[in-house]
Chains A and B, each alone.
Chain A
Amino acid sequence: MTFPLLSLIVFLPAAGAAVLMCLRNDDAVRWTALGFTVADLALAVAMLAAFDTTTHEMQFTERHPWVPAIGITYALGVDGISALFVFLTALLGWICVLASWVAIDRKVKEFMVALLSMQTLMLGVFSALDLFLFYVCWEAMLIPMYLIIGVWGGDGRVYAAFKFFLYTLAGSLLFLIGVIVLYFHGGRTFDILALSAQDLPFDVQAWLFFAFLIAFAVKVPMVPVHTWLPDAHVQAPTAGSIILAGVLLKMGAYGFLRFSLPMLPEASVYYSTLMLALSALAIVYGGLLALAQDDLKKLVAYSSISHMGFVTMGIFALNLRGLEGGILQMFNHGVTTGALFLFVGVIYERTHTRSIANYGGLMKVAPVYTGFLALFTLSSMALPGTNSFVGELLVLSGSFAANMAVGTAAVLGALLSAAYLLGMYRKVALGPASVGTRYQIRDVNGREIAAIVPLAVFVLWVGLYPKPFLNVIDASVKHLLTEVQGQESGQ
């Protein structure tokens, strides 16, 4: 029996949560949570180091019977795509702990337990090779996230938590029916790889495609089922926003990559134009909404809708550049938007306002803060040299190859993002130092820098030398593409 590295990565945070339950002192809770998440990151790095980038096969696989009576197994494994997201989740995990260090001052233990259980479930989603296991993790996430938003969130937290819960639940339940239908059509198995190898009739694929689409579109979120996102983001505590933007939104896109494309290739090709159009709509509409926001968190939230539009557009361009760009952009969005939410949290802790109108001239009082903010703002608008540039360029070239019209719309969205991000930066950081007179503002402290620097490193690393990241996903993306196109030519 091989070393169960993936199980260890997945369940280490849960074990941490169990340990936390026994602690009483708040500081001990914080340090223990940090310890477990850092250890988890170390394991994830070890996994990446041992990862074989030359093959698309699932690696570090583990299989144990779970409910053999109906063919459910406990199966884990990662290919290039999931490995990247396992790493991203582990990376953001400890940053979330740091971001909540002082922001969460009541029920610290419960919060950290929720945070760590959340991490276990997210890692479970990205490494599950069994549909049932995937669904259990996917759905169970609602419980800790509901509590994180609803207990530790802002003033409108209860409404936001409800909305988040019901939207995602309603979406996922149809997905559940889809999973069961797939189970019977695919020879009574929940094995994701076996199901990907099946060739389903087109009408079944079409139905399943829409059942899955609803669940994934809510999670991404795509317009028009995006309305839970701004509410959830604005009300969630900083760590909650980082998780939502950094990891949760990726799950919808991951669902497309892991289920829709390989299991329903013909339907994916057939409906790709629709998906491209929806993505273009999300890019432009999200951008326009972001342009109109005065609330910092809302601005970042709407920009997420726009940026996730690039991701889905890249995926459904169904060519190599589009797919690689889309996946890389998922990673980039996790890093950049996670960082932006962290920044909003940092400044909110000091001023207790998120209204852009209340800021101005922050550069004079908090130079380090605004310096880093500049980097992430530029990254978010995809300036060359930053991570998003690479991803967005790939997506754009992929989508132009797929469909000229949506490619043009995407360029328009990129312009919009420059407009609202630069506008935001100007209003917050530049100009006369009005903010310094109104609030006592300290620059970032060591703990905050510790959380920010790793993200900044990834912004520049991916921006200047994306090869290692593309290498990780390359073989898996090529394989995915042959699965889609192989099926297509076979009809």
Chain B
Amino acid sequence: MTAAVLFQWMLASLPEIIVITGACILLILGQLVRREQLLFWASVAVVLIAALATFLLAGEVRPAYSGMFVADRFAVFFKFVFYLATVLTFLLSRKYADIEGIGSSEYYVMLLFALSGMMIMASATDLLSIYVGLELMVLCTYVLTGFLRHERRSNEAALKYVILGAVSTGIFLYGVSLVYGLTGTTQLDAMAAAVSGDPLDPGLLLAVVFIVAGLVFKVGAVPFHMWVPDVYEGAPTTVTAFMSVGPKAAGFAVILRVFLNPLVAASDVWIIVAVIAVVTAALGSFVALVQDNFKRLLAYSSIAHAGFATFGVVAGGVDGVASVMLYLLIYAFMNLGIFGAVIMMRSGDFSGEVIEDYAGFAKAHPGLALLMLIYLFSLAGIPPTAGFFAKFYVLTALVERGFVFLAVVAVLLSAVAAYFYIRIVMVIYMREPERAFEPALTPFVRATLACTAAGTIGIGLFPEWFLRLAQHSAFGG
């Protein structure tokens, strides 16, 4: 290996290097300086510098580390979703962290490390580098989940998450070892060659099932969804917001890479994905109907959305991949928006976690209520919001591939899901207020809400640019 090659490799992974180095420096800095303001701005700066680097390097495809890693348009797209999620989480955290007393430097450092893990996942082209990224990400989220040290709920959630997460990682690794044993490689491209040759080896099929199980856990799809509501409820709300968007998108990035490259030939596996999509969307939608806790409801809603995005995976092809990518981008905007609204309600001794807490919210704060209305209708997929376009494009991809029946199922389930979103709108608009509201509205929270609202409405009205970007970034496009 020459210095020039090494330089090229480092250049390809420059954004990851920036984030990891920045996180390490911040970790040390946090022990020396006690000024939170500084740490906060420094963490935001790290992400922005990484984003700039990603943008500057986005021009060409850069494979690196002997086929373990690639910086291509697909990865760049996902990295920007991650940056968006992380920066908005930082902005939302500032005040919330003060209220909860979790605003230490580790909090930001953990988020940065999780970000680097997700970035590695998006770029990984080898089962081992996928594993490294995955573990880096989930280890940080384990810790973040338990960040409310004095709350039992938070501790319990973290414990549950660690144990179940470890099991799923074990399953995933077992699948990886089987693949290595059978094909002699862990690289996705080489696997593709092995798979597309003969009819699928039953051992390989088993390996695929294990890998699927490991990945499905990370996006919270059925049957590995059980941890989601508890963890979402127990974690600090800002962390929940982050987890529902960032790691989920990272999980889908890997699923798309694994499935639509090497395993596209293994059509036997396809039916598994279709079944997962249907069952996930159904379970998420139906169970959400009976939730009273807002965070639990959003947890089930995120399961339902994972199911819907999986429909895009089932569709496959350029449009299928692009539809999943666009879906995740739009989901990042609308979900961070609605979580921003929940986080804003946390002020004083009031948690704002129960749906009933929002009764008559529209009377006290018509502007904020309107924002929530926009996010909720977007999550429900009603035009002219972005959520509608996201669903529309997934359905288009499904019908294009001839899965009309699946499209009908998806659409009916989204009608079920609409029920619980408009139920919240009902509580906000059609009930009398029971208490005075004093939302913790800092300029940062305002900025987040403005940004997410702009995304939710803007992509809904003018989807062209984002659609082209997703199609352009999807591999094969």
Q: In the complex, what distance in Å separates the CA atom of A90 from the CA atom of B464? A: 31
Per-position 1/0 for A97-136, Cβ under 8 A of B: 0000000000000100000000000000000000000011
Pairwise interchain contact A68-B408, C-beta atoms closer than 8 A = no
Q: In the complex, what distance in Å separates the CA atom of A177 from the CA atom of B467? A: 20
Contact partners of A157 in chain B: CB under 8 A: 430
Q: Is B223 an interface residue (CB 8 A)?
A: no
Pairwise interchain contact B411-A69, C-beta atoms closer than 8 A = no
Not counting A161-B426, A176-B392, a sample of 7 additional A-B residue pairs whose C-beta atoms are within 8 angstroms of each other reads A70-B396, A136-B388, A140-B384, A146-B425, A165-B422, A174-B411, A180-B396
A residues 65-112 in Cβ contact with B at 8 Å? 65-70, 110
23 contacts between A and B (CB under 8 A): A67-B464, A68-B464, A69-B468, A139-B382, A142-B382, A143-B373, A143-B377, A151-B362, A158-B430, A162-B426, A165-B422, A166-B415, A166-B419, A173-B412, A173-B415, A174-B411, A177-B399, A180-B392, A180-B407, A181-B399, A181-B404, A183-B396, A183-B399
Q: Is A45 an interface residue (CB 8 A)?
A: no
A residues 406-432 in Cβ contact with B at 8 Å? none
B residues 363-415 in Cβ contact with A at 8 Å? 366, 373, 377, 382-384, 388, 392-393, 395-396, 399-400, 404, 407-408, 411-412, 414-415
Contact partners of A464 in chain B: CB under 8 A: none
Pairwise interchain contact A161-B384, C-beta atoms closer than 8 A = no
B residues 421-457 in Cβ contact with A at 8 Å? 422-423, 425-426, 429-430
Pairwise interchain contact B415-A180, C-beta atoms closer than 8 A = no
Q: Is B213 an interface residue (CB 8 A)?
A: no
Q: Which residue of A lies closest to B389 (CB)?
A: A67
Contact partners of A177 in chain B: CB under 8 A: 395, 399, 404, 407-408, 411
Q: Which residue of B lies closest to A136 (CB)?
A: B383
What interface size band does chain B fall in? 20 to 34
Q: In the complex, what distance in Å separates the CA atom of A147 from the CA atom of B393? A: 27
Q: Which residue of B lies closest to A170 (CB)?
A: B415
Indicate which residue in A69, A143, A162, A173 contacts B471 across the interface (CB closer than 8 Å): A69
Contact partners of B412 in chain A: CB under 8 A: 170, 173
Pairwise interchain contact B467-A67, C-beta atoms closer than 8 A = yes
Pairwise interchain contact B411-A173, C-beta atoms closer than 8 A = yes
Q: Is B342 an interface residue (CB 8 A)?
A: no
Binding site for A on B (CB under 8 A): 362, 366, 373, 377, 382-384, 388, 392-393, 395-396, 399-400, 404, 407-408, 411-412, 414-415, 418-419, 422-423, 425-426, 429-430, 463-464, 467-468, 471
Q: Which of B392, B412, B429, B430 has the most CB atoms of chain A within a 10 A radius of its CB?
A: B430
- Interface residues of A, CB < 8 Å — how many? 33
Q: Which of A69, A70, A146, A181 has the most CB atoms of chain B within a 10 A radius of its CB?
A: A69
Q: Is A169 an interface residue (CB 8 A)?
A: yes
Contact partners of B388 in chain A: CB under 8 A: 136, 139
Indicate which residue in A150, A169, A176, A184 contacts B426 across the interface (CB closer than 8 Å): A150
Q: Which 6 pairs, one residue from A and one from B, show the smallest C-beta to C-beta distance?
A: A136-B383, A173-B411, A180-B399, A170-B415, A67-B464, A140-B383
Q: In the complex, what distance in Å separates the CA atom of A136 from the CA atom of B388? A: 9
Q: In the complex, what distance in Å separates the CA atom of A180 from the CA atom of B422? A: 25
Contact partners of B425 in chain A: CB under 8 A: 146
Pairwise interchain contact B422-A162, C-beta atoms closer than 8 A = yes
A88 to chain B, nearest CB (A): 23
Contact partners of A69 in chain B: CB under 8 A: 464, 467-468, 471
B384 to chain A, nearest CB (A): 5
Binding site for B on A (CB under 8 A): 65-70, 110, 135-136, 139-140, 142-143, 146-147, 150-151, 157-158, 161-162, 165-166, 169-170, 173-174, 176-177, 180-181, 183-184
Q: In the complex, what distance in Å separates the CA atom of A150 from the CA atom of B426? A: 8
B96 to chain A, nearest CB (A): 30
Q: Which residue of A lies closest to B380 (CB)?
A: A169
Pairwise interchain contact B383-A135, C-beta atoms closer than 8 A = yes
Known: A67-B463, A136-B384, A180-B395. A173 touches B426 (CB 8 A): no
Q: In the complex, what distance in Å separates the CA atom of A142 from the CA atom of B407? A: 22
A29 to chain B, nearest CB (A): 14
Contact partners of A181 in chain B: CB under 8 A: 399, 404
Contact partners of A176 in chain B: CB under 8 A: 392, 395, 411
Q: In the complex, what distance in Å separates the CA atom of A399 from the CA atom of B362? A: 50
Q: Which residue of A lies closest to B383 (CB)?
A: A136
Contact partners of A136 in chain B: CB under 8 A: 383-384, 388
Contact partners of B373 in chain A: CB under 8 A: 143
Contact partners of B396 in chain A: CB under 8 A: 70, 180, 183
Q: In the complex, what distance in Å separates the CA atom of A411 from the CA atom of B373? A: 47
A232 to chain B, nearest CB (A): 15
Q: In the complex, what distance in Å separates the CA atom of A17 from the CA atom of B463? A: 24
B432 to chain A, nearest CB (A): 12
Contact partners of B464 in chain A: CB under 8 A: 65-69
Pairwise interchain contact A184-B400, C-beta atoms closer than 8 A = yes
Pairwise interchain contact B430-A161, C-beta atoms closer than 8 A = yes
Contact partners of A158 in chain B: CB under 8 A: 426, 430
A459 to chain B, nearest CB (A): 36
Q: In the complex, what distance in Å separates the CA atom of A166 from the CA atom of B419? A: 7
Contact partners of B407 in chain A: CB under 8 A: 177, 180
Q: Which of A110, A142, A146, A176 has the most CB atoms of chain B within a 10 A radius of its CB?
A: A176
Q: In the complex, what distance in Å separates the CA atom of A190 from the CA atom of B419? A: 29
Q: Which residue of B lies closest to A135 (CB)?
A: B383
Q: In the complex, what distance in Å separates the CA atom of A161 from the CA atom of B427? A: 13
A69 to chain B, nearest CB (A): 5
Q: In the complex, what distance in Å separates the CA atom of A173 from the CA atom of B411? A: 6
